Structure formats: C-alpha cells, structure tokens
Structure 1
Amino acid sequence: MASKRIMLIDNEEGLCRMMEAILTDNGYAAKAYTRSFEAVEEFKGSDWDLVISDVKMPGMDGLEVLQRIKEKCPGMPVIMITAFATVEMSIQALRRGAYDILTKPFEPEELLYRVKNALKQTELLEENQELRQELVGKFRFDNIIGATTGLRPLMETVAKIAIRDTSVLITGESGTGKELIAQAIHYNSPRRDKRFLAINCGALPESLLESELFGYKKGAFTGATENRQGLLEAADGGTLFLDEVGNLPMNVQKTLLRFLQEQEFHRIGDTRPTKVNVRILSATNADLLADVEKGTFREDLYYRLNVVNLRLPPLRERRGDIPLLVTHFIKQQNEKFGTQIKGLSSEALQAACQFSWPGNIRQLRNVLEASMAIETAEVIQLDTLAQFIDTGKETTAEPDLSSDNENDYSSALADFETRYLKSLLQKTGGNVEAAAREAGMNMATIYRKLKKYEISREDFS
C-alpha cells in the first residue's frame, strides 16, 4: 500500500524539517515548503492526502492557504498549526474547513495522533463514496433482472419519474420486488447522495409506528427520556419508503397527509413543527381504493400518495425472466456461501418456468437458497426442487382469478412457507436468530409465522 502523502507548510524551516523527519520515520511521504505561495501554486488535490499548515506566515497566511486549498480540493483535510490558539482564530479556521488545530509546542506523538485521525476521516469519506457508487451501480436500471424483457415498459416509466420529485405508489403482489423498484427510483434521482430509509408499516404496532415515523420529544410519554428523531427527520434530503402503507392507522394517516401538504410535522409531544425535505415512495399489495370505500384509508391521502402508480406484474406474467432470475440468485448464493452450484437441470428449469410462483420473486429466491443448501450434485435436480414446490401439477396456463384460485394461492403460499421455515430451522438447529439472518427476515416475522403454522423450534434443536 502506497504511503500517505503529506504537504507541510511553515516558514520556520527548523520546525518544517522536524515534522518532515517525524512523519517520514513513521512511514509517511512528507514534503516541506517554507514559502506558502509556492506550496499553494504547486498543490494538486490528486497528489496529496493531507496538508499541515502554520497559521502565522509572511505573505500568504495560513487562513488564506486553507481557503485556497479548499477551493482547489474541498475534501482535502487540513491541520492548522499555531502558537496562539485563540477562540476567534479557531472559529475562523474551522468555518473555512480546517479539520484540526494543533498548538505549538507539541510532542511528536501528538502530531502523529492528529495526522492519523485526519487520514482516517479521509479514508472513511472515500469508503462511503465508494459504497454509494456501488449502490448507485447496483440499482442502475439495466442491472434490474428482467428490465430488458418483461419489465421493459415499467422500467421506461421508472426512468422518467425517478428524476421528478413526485410521490409514487408501487402496487403488486407480495414478493414482486416493490422495495427494489423504490430503491432504483431513489438511486437514479437527484436525491441519490442522501439517505434511502424504509419502514414496513404492517410490522409495528400503532403506538410504535407513530414514534418511529415522527419521533418524539423528551417527556412526551412514560419512557421518553430523551428527544428522538423519527425516520422522516432522519431521511431529510432523501427518500422515505413506506411499505404496506395500507396498514397505517388513521391518526398516523392524518399526520402524514399534513406532511405531504406542508413538508412539516410535529414530533410526539412537541408544539413546534419540524420542517424537512423528503420524497415519499409507498407500496401496497392491498386494494387501497377498496379500503378508501370502507373508510379505513383516507381518500385525500390516497391521492397524495398515488400521484404516479406503478404496478409490478407477478412472476407468472413474466415467465421469460425466470431463467435470468435463477442464474442471478444462484450466482448470488454461490458468492455468499462459497458453493459451486452451476444451475438447474433442464427438467428442474422447465418445472420452475411452469410453476405459478404464488410468492413471486421472493419465493423463487428462497426456494433456490433452500435447494442449494441440500443439493449434493453440481446442478439442482428436479427431485430437490420438488421438496419445495409442486413440480408435477402446475402448468403454464394463466391462473383463473376466481375465489377458488385465491384459496389455491393461499394454500400454496402456506405450504411453501411451512417447508421453507422447517428447512431454515433444520439448517440452524432451531436458532431463530440465525434463521432470520439466513432468510433476510425480521426475527419478529419468523416468530409470527412459526406461531401461525404451529411449528415448534424445539423440534429442531
């Protein structure tokens, strides 16, 4: 790894040489300048990792050096050295972007400590930028599986609305990838450099949901021992995704509507409004218009959320994407667990393409993960796949949307979830926390489903 490059600027040649020697002896590539004009003239951000400059120098003083450095490279950390660290001077330096102020005289250990901290901050900033770029790349439209086939019309719409700061309601059956589309909208929008936060409105009780979204003021209720920021405030400048928005209780719907109208809300127990700039994306697998007619969902809120509607098709309507998705998920699991599964056998792939996948993409991913966990061959065989889905009775015919079919759907989904939960518990020895981690699910969800299907984790421990 290349040595970190440090520019030293101080008109005291003795101090300059001393710092240069200390830093060089500790593995840094340091270069000293005794003339501030010359240093600033030669400075190029790509050549340096850190600048250390004295404050009091003839000609161009340290504060002006700081300003010029920041104009050329805003992210460059600069440590200022002074013999007289007055409050006023310190405030000026910090306002102009100084990372730290070092007071003369100082010990070598202190210099090295300050340098290490400044460089660590730079590394964290660079790492965050790399991670952000990785996220942006991950959610590029052409990286979404099926965007070139079954999802092309939808993704063309997503590309248009991503750059427009408007509310979007994403509808579709459970497991169709609604949050993935919400993330794609965010990371292809002008808000991509700010936070994307998500909350499942059906996973929390009403009392917790309100405080989670809006936060609360100290003393607002028993247990509120300090001020707490809610998700809306934490997402300021970015995007908040409300999954299963149809589960919002009426009092929360009212507060959310006010926010959408005025871009402000009240923390619980606070009399002063909090103003933030957040884009709201929401999703539901329910019929919100039916809920409006029943009076369980506000009509005015529905139209505020549903400025643009995106319907995600179920997997049975985009069967041509199944081979692409299978390849993607197997590759993903191989990388995660270090396995070498090459794919599905031709019979297993045919069965996968014919199955109706009531749990959609989520079910396909989980079935592949479970199959890979127990497969002993290089490819997943039909017998292995048949342990998790019905490979003999499903056809490629479009499903009848009658009430009987709804019962079939519920039955198939329950059968799959039961099999999958048992395979998870078998794999983890009944450890629910490990099972939740394996499935990428919330522990509370796992416990709720175990209770629903009367599965005892003790049977697997």
Structure 2
Amino acid sequence: MDTILIVDDNHAICQALALMLEINGYRVLTCHTPEDALELVSAQEIELVIQDMNFSRDTTSGEEGRQLFYDLRERQADLPIILMTAWTQLETAVELVKAGAADYMGKPWDDAKLLNTIANLISLHKLSRTNHKLERVNQQRQMAIADADLCGIVFGSGAMQRCIDLALQLARSDVSVLITGPNGAGKDKLADIIHANSPLKNKPFIKVNVGALPVELLEAELFGAEAGAFTGATKARIGRFEAADGGTLFLDEIGNLPLSGQVKLLRVLQTGEFERLGSHKTIKVKVRVISATNADLAQDIAEGRFREDLFYRLNVIELALAPLNQRTDDILPLVKHFVGNGFSLTKPAQQALLQHRWPGNVRELENACKRAVLLAQSPLLTEADFGLVRVKSAPDMPVFQPESVVLPASAMLAKSGMNGADENHAESMDVSREEIEAALKLHNGVIARVAKALGLSRQALYRRMDKFGLEK
C-alpha cells in the first residue's frame, strides 16, 4: 500500500485529506510541523508528500513551506511533493515548480483532480525508483565485469551476459556447478571463468573430458592406479583428483561416466575420499568440482544410466547455456573475432550467418570462419566463403544452408562409418587443388599447418599434392 504524508498545521485539513485518501486505498501519515515531517521522511518509505506553505499563526509569506520543500528535497531528491496553500504566492509557486515541485494547488482543492494527480505522480515515482535501481545494478555489474577475468570470451547477447553474470557470482563460492548446453556452445569457457574468478584461481585447475576417455581407463584417470592394477600399468600414477587437490576439477561430458565411476565420484563429493585402483590406501582431497554435459541427465536417471544422488551432488546450481541459434547477437562479434581485423563481411554474408541454424554452435562457426579465411578471394567475405549458399524459399524469406565443407578426418570417418583401411581415402576425398593451393599460400608452405587447416594428416596431404602435381 502506497504511503502519503500530509503536512499541515490545520488539523481539520489533515483529517479531511486523510479520509479521502484512505477511502481510495492509500496509507496516510499526518503531522503538523516541518520538523515532524522531516523526521517521518527520514524514518519511513513515503511515496508522496502533500505540504502546506504556512505553519505559524497569521503567517502568509510561504517562507516556511519553501524551506520545508528544500529540506525534503535534500533528504530525498526524487520524492513527489504537492504544495497546497490558501494564500497564492505566484513567485514562490513558480520558483518551487522550477525546483522540482510536482504540483501547486490552492485550498479548497478539487478531489477528483487531486486524486488523479496523486495516482500519476506515484506511478512515475515508482517507475523512476525502479529505473534508478536497475541503473545501480547495471553499474555494479559493469564494475564487476570490468574487474573480472573473462578468459577472452566474446559475446554480444543478453543471454550470454546473464550466464557470465551468474558464473561470476558462483565463482565466489565453493559449491558444485553443473553447466548444461549443447556441444560446441562454450561450456568449457564458462568453467574457465568460474575458476579464474574464484578464491582458488591460483590453485590447480584440471580438466577431464570424460567422453574422450575409454571406459576401461576412466577410473584410473580420475582416481589413479597402482603398478600392476591393470594390463600396461607398469608404475603407479596419480589421478586427476589428486592432481587437482586444493583446486578445481572440471569434468566435461559427465553423462558418459559409467555407473562404477559414478559410485566413486559420489563418495569423493561426499567425503573427499577414494582409493587408487589396486590399492586399499584411502586418499583424502579437497577439490571443487565443476561438471558439464550435453545429455539429458533427467532422462538418463529415469532409464537407470545415471545416479540420481550423484546428479543432486553435482547440480547444486545449474548454469544453462543456450545454443548459438538462440543467442544470435553473439554470432557477428564471434565472426569478427575469428576472422580477424583483415576481413569484413558483405551484407548477404551477415544475413546468411545470422539465419543459419548452427547445429554445431560456436565450434561450427569457428570452423566456418577458418574456411572463409582460407578460401577468400578478397578481404570482403561472402556467404560462399563461409560455405553457406542461398536456397529457394518463400518470397522475401531467403534461407541458407551449408555447402560441402572440408571435414576433419575423424568427422568424415564418423559420418561415413569408415575405419582402419579406409582412413587414408577418407582423409583426402573432399579436398580440391584450389583449396590446397590457397592453404599453402596462406601458411607459407608449412606442411604441418596446411594439413591441420585442411583436416588432413601430412601423409594424406602429400598424396593429394602428388595427385595434383603440386610441389612439396
């Protein structure tokens, strides 16, 4: 309920105004001297003041009201103040309205006009106060970001800004954080930001891609192993938890951890204790765990592939990262970062980049930018340079889809189902003479760099160069 303060030495005036305002849903405070008014404004949250201009008997100069107005403004600069008097002092009225008085009314007043004025002024006051709060929050956030280590992250969207704000807030605590989002969206970058701005920033920061490790080696990687614990273990090795003791451990693709590893991980999170494989000696560590996944862990729990108790241990707070196509304001800043200052984009190229769905997210965008730089015929990049071509659609609604692009050998093998004997053919099947020549020029003939840029092994690149008659 909005509170209105009435300041008038006439008790009858105070009672009449209070009754009218209370009937219309306002909370009303009344007082009869400027001193009491200033005390109430300092002690309570008041939305509006209605004040008289004269408080001493037989005084009509308005000087007392003028002083009270300035004293109130000094205490609360944006407080709406309506001035009321039975005596009209035009010069004083003009001065105070210029100084910020909301309105100047004579006695007797018009009830309807006064109520309408009050409603409008209170609405504006609330809006102004909200805006001031938002400005303060934004200023505080900008100061926090200015002082923070953002680990080189590039963004332009409000969605990413909110993720970073939350990451910086979480960095100050030691709680476990689960970062969720699709592959290639930047989950590891958020983990970097959390650690870099935490009290542990000078302590170890160990990263483990759980999805990239063979199942049979996962437990040894995480918890260590004694010599002879498994075939090929010729000497004792420490695990990632030991290496991260006192610092932070980032477990990427945590959904791929087998159930046996989940049991051990749950124990470490609860007690800080574990044993190396092949050992009965208990090791105790203190490690902050940040994990990430692109999987639907709730579905995995329902289907028995992931422990519910472990999920709640990991997911004290979830940091959800949206796919790139839901934060399109990030796309062009990222492109500018990836292609560098030596290139600019045509308008159709910008449109194509913004309209493409980017199923591979930032990782796909980065690869498209590498292709554009490699194949560009000029510093002005087109949609074709990025491997995006215009296809027919509804009128005025162009749609862009990717052309065939040079894929790394591993991606081509996964896509085609090839393995082993087919690898050499797969590595070179899509690379043209023009692309190789452009890469050779760009990388000054350094074969290792050319091969990496084209997604080939050096042997495959040599075979392709031999085929096209290019000098090594």
Return the offset for 1:219: 2.5
Return the offset for 1:435: 7.5
1:350 matched to which residue of 2? 351
1:311 matched to which residue of 2? 320
Say if 1:307 and 1:147 are closer, same or farther in 2 by CA, change over 3 A.
farther
Larger Rg computed on CA atoms: 2
Say if 1:314 and 1:344 are closer, same or farther in 2 by CA, change over 3 A.
same
Amino acid at match of 2:348: E
Return the offset for 1:318: 1.0
Say if 1:299 and 1:350 are closer, same or farther in 2 by CA, change over 3 A.
same
1:226 matched to which residue of 2? 235
1:370 aligns with 2:367: no
Partner SS, residue 384 of structure 2: helix
Amino acid at match of 1:275: K
1:172 matched to which residue of 2? 181
Structure 2 residue aligned with 1:184, among 185, 193, 209? 193
Structure 2 residue aligned with 1:329, among 323, 338, 355? 338
Say if 1:423 and 1:267 are closer, same or farther in 2 by CA, change over 3 A.
farther
Partner SS, residue 158 of structure 2: coil
1:247 matched to which residue of 2? 256
1:263 aligns with 2:272: yes
Moved more, 318-327 or 174-183: 318-327
2:289 matched to which residue of 1? 280
CA distance in 2, matches of 1:432, 1:228: 36
Unaligned runs of 5+ in 2: 1-144, 413-429, 466-472
1:460 aligns with 2:461: no
Amino acid at match of 1:350: Q
Q: Check conservation: 2:210, 2:218, Cα contact below 8 A.
A: yes
Amino acid at match of 1:343: S
Partner SS, residue 265 of structure 1: strand
Return the offset for 1:341: 3.0
CA distance in 2, matches of 1:139, 1:185: 10
Q: Check conservation: 1:341, 1:380, Cα contact below 8 A.
A: no
Return the offset for 1:415: 7.0
Q: Check conservation: 1:355, 1:394, Cα contact below 8 A.
A: no
Q: Check conservation: 1:147, 1:155, Cα contact below 8 A.
A: no
Structure 1 residue aligned with 2:165, among 156, 165, 183? 156
Return the offset for 1:149: 3.2
Q: Check conservation: 2:156, 2:329, Cα contact below 8 A.
A: no
Q: For 1:54-69, what aligned pairs fall within 5 Å after superposition?
A: none
Say if 1:435 and 1:243 are closer, same or farther in 2 by CA, change over 3 A.
farther
Say if 1:208 and 1:436 are closer, same or farther in 2 by CA, change over 3 A.
farther
TM-score normalised to structure 1 length = 0.56
Unaligned runs of 5+ in 1: 1-135, 332-339, 400-410, 448-455
CA distance in 2, matches of 1:226, 1:288: 36
2:9 matched to which residue of 1? none
Return the offset for 1:243: 0.9
1:389 aligns with 2:388: yes
1:28-57 superposed Cα distances (whole Å, 9 cap, x missing partner): xxxxxxxxxxxxxxxxxxxxxxxxxxxxxx
Q: Check conservation: 1:172, 1:311, Cα contact below 8 A.
A: yes
Partner SS, residue 151 of structure 1: helix
Amino acid at match of 1:356: R
1:121 matched to which residue of 2? none
Return the offset for 1:235: 1.2
Percent identical pairs in the alignment equals 40
1:337 matched to which residue of 2? none
Return the offset for 1:319: 0.9
Q: For 1:429-444, what aligned pairs fall within 5 Å after superposition?
A: 438=453
1:195 matched to which residue of 2? 204
TM-score normalised to structure 2 length = 0.55
Return the offset for 1:390: 4.1
Return the offset for 1:458: 8.5
CA distance in 2, matches of 1:376, 1:256: 52
Say if 1:164 and 1:435 are closer, same or farther in 2 by CA, change over 3 A.
farther
Moved more, 222-231 or 136-145: 136-145
Amino acid at match of 1:209: L
Moved more, 340-349 or 164-173: 340-349
How many residues were matched structurally? 291
CA distance in 1, matches of 2:259, 2:246: 26
1:407-456 superposed Cα distances (whole Å, 9 cap, x missing partner): xxxx9799785799645995589x998688559x9xxxx99xxxxxxxx8
1:225-276 superposed Cα distances (whole Å, 9 cap, x missing partner): 2210111111111111111111111111111111001012111111111111
1:271-328 superposed Cα distances (whole Å, 9 cap, x missing partner): 1111111111111111011000000111111111111111111111111221111111
Q: Check conservation: 1:326, 1:343, Cα contact below 8 A.
A: no
